[in-house]
Amino acid sequence: MPASSRSELITFLAQGKPEELLGTPECEWVDFKSGGFGAPYDLRTPKGKFELSKDIAAFANSGGGLIVCGVTAKQRANELVEVATKLTPFQQSLIKIDQFKTTIDDLVRPLIKVSYHWFAHPASDDDLAGHYFVLDVEALPEADRWALVRKVLNDNDQFTEGWTVPIRHDDRTTTISADDAYRLMNDGLRSRTAPPWAAPAPTPPSDPVQARHDLEAHLGWDELPVLFWQSTPQNAPELINGLHSQDGIRGALLNQDAMRPHGGFNFSSDYKRPEPYRGGLLLADSRRAVAIAADGTVTAAVVATSEMLGWSMEQRFGETGRINVVTLSELMLEYFRLVDEKILPAVDGPWQHRIVAARFAQEPARVLAPGANPEFPLIGAVQQASADKWNQSWTAHGDPEQDAYEGLQRVYALFGLDASQNPYVEDKKLSTALLQAAFTR
């Protein structure tokens, strides 16, 4: 079946099912590039560099998306858009990721966050061999748009002075017209010279990448495998209401309504108190942490070791790096019970949730079994993390069980698994009732 979302497409590749991509139409969130005997972008030429930069900027300007290299797309006679029609995996040696990063950093302004992932074609296929290369482009926040490519091509496909603002429109990459660019610049000038009684523009949200780096450096976790949760308001205030109040955010951190307040896997503490941290709040110990920035951005993290995410698995099974599926599920639901119910209502407008796994593939790699049997969730065949850096996001639903399922789905995809195999998932939600019933067994 064709992929219907970014996370589903990644899941198909991680599970070794690239054939499921066939029939997927190109759209605002995915673009396919042929592989075969040549690299998808020839970065030895100005044209190749421009095409890469244009595609990256277009997705950043249009909500983010995936560039999937190693799949050919064509427009059939009875279809309006190009669809994936053929698998063309290629050799990894054709891609130099450093060249991709250098090209994008040089030609695209502002800097765009891009994640790079390799997926192997199934070894059981005697007809095809090679890999698929996926560029996962993060959307620029509305306050930071627009991304532009700072050079253009002349008639001889050589760089010349100029700039262009690419956007994604359905299955095509196009550019903002000169009239639209003129209007945007003038709108920006008018907002900068607005009268003093005019409403101020929304403050850009905190930098999620910097927030993660700051937190793991503060905790001394920058060489450990770590799982992060992040939640960012689109209309971020300079200071969230009630941040340091006992009746507000501080009180919510101090008095969390955890499913298992004593001895469970959550972000509450019996002996720690929220403390000031970079103008916001931090509640942390040696294995878990949750930080809330002044604008409401939430960054939480746990170590993916036997101290937390892999609790008791090394002792029981003798496997270093094995993740406890019960611990993962409980932490996932507890994070969203805290954030969706206590933090999101404090800032109006849409929020973005994010899951980031850092250093999961470094030796010894993290492994996970889906826990499909609810009677024995800690047993089963394990799958290894397929990438060392994993960064996935979605628009918040505001329902803890639904957002917890979305987060779990993204963690499972990293291991080539589907979240429906989790014993506590029901109707695309991570069920509080099923988890609580497991605690009594």
Distance CA(226)–CA(243), nearest Å, equals: 26
Beta bridge partners of residue 233, listed in sequence order: 351
Task: Estimate the share of the chain in helix, then strand, then coil, as percent rounded to the nearest 5.
Answer: 30, 25, 45
Distance CA(210)–CA(82), nearest Å, equals: 38
Distance CA(38)–CA(439), nearest Å, equals: 54
Structure tokens at 414: 């990293």
CA torsion, ordered 137, 143, 148, 150, to nearest 10 deg: -120
The pLDDT assigned to 312 comes to 87
Tell me the domain boundaries of the chain: 6-179, 208-439
**pLDDT tens digit sequence for 118-143:** 999 999 999 999 999 999 999 988 76
Distance CA(385)–CA(412), nearest Å, equals: 9
The DSSP-derived string for 292-328 is: E-TTS-EEEEEE-STTTTTTTHHHHH--TTB--HHHH
The pLDDT assigned to 37 comes to 60
Place of tokens 């599920």: 329
Q: How many CA atoms lie within 13 A of 438 on its CB side?
A: 24
Distance CA(429)–CA(99), nearest Å, equals: 41
Is domain 6-179 in CATH 3.30.950, yes or no? yes
The pLDDT assigned to 190 comes to 52
**pLDDT tens digit sequence for 355-401:** 999 999 999 999 999 988 878 888 888 999 999 889 999 999 999 99
The pLDDT assigned to 12 comes to 94
The pLDDT assigned to 210 comes to 87
Terminal alpha carbon distance of the chain: 38
CA 304 to the chain's CA centroid: 18
DSSP state letter for 177: -
Total Cβ atoms within 10 A of residue 331? 24
Exposed, middle or buried: residue 124 (CB in 10 Å: 0-12, 13-18, 19+)? exposed
Q: Which amino acid is at 289?
A: A
Question: pLDDT 10s per residue in the chain (441 long)?
Answer: 688 888 899 999 999 999 999 999 999 899 999 976 667 899 999 999 999 999 999 999 988 999 999 999 998 766 678 999 999 999 999 999 999 999 999 999 998 999 999 999 999 999 999 999 999 999 988 767 789 999 999 999 999 989 999 988 777 888 887 766 766 666 655 544 545 444 444 444 567 888 999 999 999 999 999 999 999 998 888 899 999 999 999 999 999 999 987 778 999 988 889 999 999 999 999 999 999 999 999 999 999 999 999 998 887 777 789 999 999 999 999 999 999 999 999 999 999 999 999 999 999 999 999 988 878 888 888 999 999 889 999 999 999 999 999 999 999 999 999 999 999 999 999 999 999 988 876
Give the three-class secondary structure for 208.
Answer: helix
The pLDDT assigned to 197 comes to 41
DSSP state letter for 361: S
For 37, 126, 214, the CA distances from 299, given in Å and listed in that order, are: 43, 45, 10
Exposed, middle or buried: residue 76 (CB in 10 Å: 0-12, 13-18, 19+)? exposed
**Do 333 and 401 contact (CB within 8 A), yes or no?**
yes
CA torsion, ordered 218, 220, 222, 224, to nearest 10 deg: -140
**Do 71 and 32 contact (CB within 8 A), yes or no?**
yes
**Do 315 and 387 contact (CB within 8 A), yes or no?**
no
Q: Which amino acid is at 9?
A: L
